[in-house]
Amino acid sequence: MPHRPVSPPDRPAPAGRAAPRPSCHPGRRTLLAAFAAAAALPARAQDFAPGRPVTLVVPSAPGGTTDFAARLLAEPLSQQLGVPVLVDNRAGANGVIGAQAVMRARPDGHTLLVQYSGFHVGAPAVVRNLGWNPRTDVVPIGLLMDVPQVLLLHPSVPARTLAELVAYAKANPGKLNYASSGNGSVQHLGTEQLKRLTGIQLEHVPYRGAGPAMQDLLAGRVEIFLTTPPPALPFIQNGQLRALFLSAQERHPVLPGVPTAAEAGLPGLSAEAWFGLFAPARMAEPLVARLAAAVDAIIASPDYRGRAEAQGAAMRRMTPAELQARVERELVEWAEVVRAMNIPQE
């Protein structure tokens, strides 16, 4: 079905007619205020430079869920803004390379960061001198998707349930390696939680993104990977990888045979990831509002939601203020997890 973007209001109510009062919760009223701010701008201020593309910086290699989120966003965002939208993968250093590229860019809306929560709120807890500050160097535009984690095994591991994996790992200490997209990623911290809750030993092998990690998992160079479903779905469905559980409150329709972590015997595991859009911190508030309105219209569209949910994602609309509150909360929560598990800082 072709995408039909939903455009936010771009002009005030006609003279003599009162604007309707919003009947929604405070978060939605905040977003409506953002729409109003964007609509009140002169047309020139709202327009992006003709022919000059917007670049979505992805701080990881192609093939992972951050890359998936960026490419899913690119076409409808281009339609919303009226300019080309490109994806630029800048992997490395726990997401620092990509984040620094955006924080140093001109705050004109043409360079944006498609961010992974592990790099945004997890890495600060384990990297002593991160090289950028998620609280002050970027500002939130909107949430793109929430995604649970699925525990994947290479078929060489003779286990089809979590209980069998725990028994095998305890009988073969030091034999199993697990992948992540970097220190402080949800994959890293989530698997460390798994180790702590089950008492098994696994060796950590960090990569420059979920794409390279997935390649080595498929090749059998690592045996375990706790990651988001989008890059893994084809390999689960064709039997190249085995899925043991999903870190969600309930089973997902795209993986109906995969139990939740609680069903598998790990009710204490908390390892969901989110992906959001951010901009340089110096961006003017009206431009932030313009971009937030565009992203909210995209998130609300059936095409975007359908394509995201078909890959195992869950959709939740958030205003910039709501996303920033989530960032602040999770920076504290992941720091507490790192301290509780005695994960050393780099």
Is a pLDDT exceeding 50 seen at residue 23?
no
Of the listed ranges 221-230, 260-269, 297-306, the least confidently predicted one is 260-269
pLDDT tens digits for range 139-157: 999 999 999 999 999 999 9
Give the pLDDT confidence score for residue 301 in this predicted structure: 96
Mean pLDDT, residues 204-216? 94
Strands of the chain, DSSP E: 54-58, 85-89, 111-116, 138-147, 150-153, 177-180, 203-206, 224-227, 242-246, 273-280
Give the pLDDT confidence score for residue 90 in this predicted structure: 96
All CATH 3.40.190.150 domain ranges in the chain, comma separated: 26-147+273-340
215 pLDDT tier (thresholds 50, 70, 90): very high
Under 8 Å between Cβ of 273 and 228 = yes
For residue 56, give the 3-state DSSP assignment.
Answer: strand
pTM, two decimal places: 0.81
Q: For 284-314, b where at least 16 C-beta lie within 10 A, e where not — what string?
A: eebbbbbbbbbbbbbbeeebbbeebeebbbb
296 pLDDT tier (thresholds 50, 70, 90): very high
Architecture of domain 150-264: 3-Layer(aba) Sandwich (3.40)
Is a pLDDT exceeding 60 seen at residue 137?
yes
Give the pLDDT confidence score for residue 46 in this predicted structure: 53
98 pLDDT tier (thresholds 50, 70, 90): very high
All CATH 3.40.190.10 domain ranges in the chain, comma separated: 150-264
| Closest by CA position to 191, among listed 229, 240, 226, 162 | 226
CATH 3.40.190.150 is right for the domain spanning 26-147+273-340? yes
DSSP 107-121: SSSSEEEEEEHIIII
Give the pLDDT confidence score for residue 139 in this predicted structure: 98
| Average pLDDT value over all residues in the chain | 87
Give the pLDDT confidence score for residue 263 in this predicted structure: 95
